[in-house]
Amino acid sequence: MEVALSAISSEILSRLMSFIIKKHTDRSCVEEKLERLEHLLLRVHTVVEEAEGRYITNSKMLVQLRMLVDGMYQGYHVLNTFRFKPAEEAPLQNQVTQSSALPTPVKRTRAAASTVGTIKVSNHELQASLEKLETVVANMTEFVILLGGCKQMHKRPYDTYIYIDNFMFSRIVEKQELINALLQDNSPLDVPAVVPVIGAYRAGKKSLVGFACNDDMIRSHFSSVLHFKSNNFLKESRETIMPVRTLVVVEFISDVDNSEWVKFYSDASSQMGTGSKVIIMSRFQEIARFGTVKPIVLRSLSDAEFCYLFKVLAFGGTDPENHPQLASIAMELATNVNGLLLVGNMVADLLRTNQNVQFWFHILKRFRKSLERNFSRFGEHPKQLLERDRPTDITMLVPPSSATLRLMPSHDNTGCLCMKVLPKVKLADLVQGSTTILPNEEFQIIIWESRLPPFTKFVANCIAEEHPCTSSDNKRHKSACNSTSVTPKNLLLN
DSSP states of 292-333: SS--EEEPPPPHHHHHHHHHHHHHTTS-GGG-HHHHHHHHHH
Q: By C-alpha distance, which of 436, 427, 429, 350 is closest to 392?
A: 427
Q: What is the CATH number of the domain that holds 188?
A: 3.40.50.300
pLDDT score of 285: 92
Query: Are both 275 and 368 inside the same structural domain?
Result: no
Crossing angle, helix 324-337 and helix 357-378, to 10 degrees? 20
Please tell me whether residues 307 and 261 are part of one structural domain: no
DSSP bridge partners of 168: 163
Same domain, 462 and 315: yes
- Which among 280, 298, 316 is the end of a domain? 298
The predicted structure's pLDDT at residue 59: 93
Question: Which one-letter amino acid corresponds to residue 300?
Answer: S
Q: Check residue 424 and give its pLDDT.
A: 85
Residue 450's pLDDT is 76
Report whether 383 contacts 225 (CB < 8 A): no
**Domain identity same for 210 and 351:** no
Neighbour-count burial for 65-75, b at 16+ CB within 10 Å, e otherwise: bebbbbbbbbb
Q: Is 458 helix (H, G, I), strand (E, B) or coil?
A: strand
Residues 308, 290 share a domain: no
The whole-number pLDDT of residue 164 equals 56
Q: Do 316 and 226 share a structural domain? A: no
Q: Which long-range contacts (CB under 8 A, 24 or more apart) does 470-476 make?
A: 476/404
pLDDT, residue 10, reads 60
Residue 213: strand pairing partners: none
Task: Give a yes or no: residue 113 inside a domain.
Answer: no
Predicted confidence at residue 233, as pLDDT, reads 79
- Statement to judge: residues 237 and 293 lie in one domain: yes
**Is the residue at 316 inside a domain?**
yes
Residues 365 and 413 in one domain: yes
User: Are residues 290 and 307 located together in one domain of the fold?
Assistant: no
C-alpha closest to that of 412 among 456, 372, 454:
456
Do residues 65 and 170 touch, judged by C-beta distance below 8 A?
no
pLDDT in tens, the chain (494 residues): 666 656 666 656 555 555 555 554 555 688 889 999 999 999 999 999 999 989 999 999 999 999 999 999 999 999 998 888 776 544 444 444 433 434 444 344 344 444 444 444 578 888 989 999 999 999 899 999 999 999 998 765 444 445 554 456 878 999 999 999 999 986 667 789 999 999 988 888 988 998 899 899 999 999 999 999 877 777 777 778 889 999 999 999 888 889 999 999 998 898 998 899 999 999 999 999 999 999 999 988 999 999 999 999 999 888 998 999 999 999 999 999 999 988 999 999 999 999 999 999 999 999 999 999 999 999 999 998 888 888 889 888 887 766 788 887 654 433 344 456 778 888 888 888 887 777 777 788 888 887 766 677 888 777 777 655 433 334 433 333 444 444 333 333 34
Does 127 fall in a domain?
yes
**How large is the greatest C-alpha to C-alpha distance in the chain, in angstroms?**
106
Tell me the C-alpha distance between 237 and 228, whole Å.
Answer: 8
Of the residues 298, 327, 350, the one at which a domain ends: 298
- Is the domain of 333 the same as that of 428? yes
Q: How many CB atoms lie within 10 A of CB 83?
A: 21
Provide the domain count of the chain: 3
Burial of 58 (0-12, 13-18, 19+ CB in 10 A): middle
Range of the domain at 11: 1-86+122-149
DSSP state for residue 165 in the 8-state scheme: T
333 in a structural domain: yes
Q: How many residues can be counted in the chain?
A: 494
CB 461 within 8 A of CB 447: no
CA-based Rg of the chain, rounded to a whole angstrom? 27
Task: Give me the DSSP letters along 53-87.
Answer: TB----HHHHHHHHHHHHHHHHHHHHHHHHHS--G
Q: Report if residue 21 sits inside a domain.
A: yes
Cα separation, 144 vs 139, in Å, equals 10
- Could you say which DSSP state residue 479 is in? P
pTM: 0.78
Q: How far apart (Å, rounded) are the C-alpha atoms in residues 390 and 376?
A: 15
Same domain for 145 and 7, yes or no, is yes
Query: Is residue 176 in a domain?
Result: yes
Is 175 a domain residue?
yes
d(CA 129, CA 133): 6
CA angle in degrees (0–180, nearest 5) for 117-123-129: 140
Domain shared by 197 and 321, yes or no: no
485 in a domain, yes or no? no
Task: In whole angstroms, give the CA distance from residue 208 to residue 396.
Answer: 33
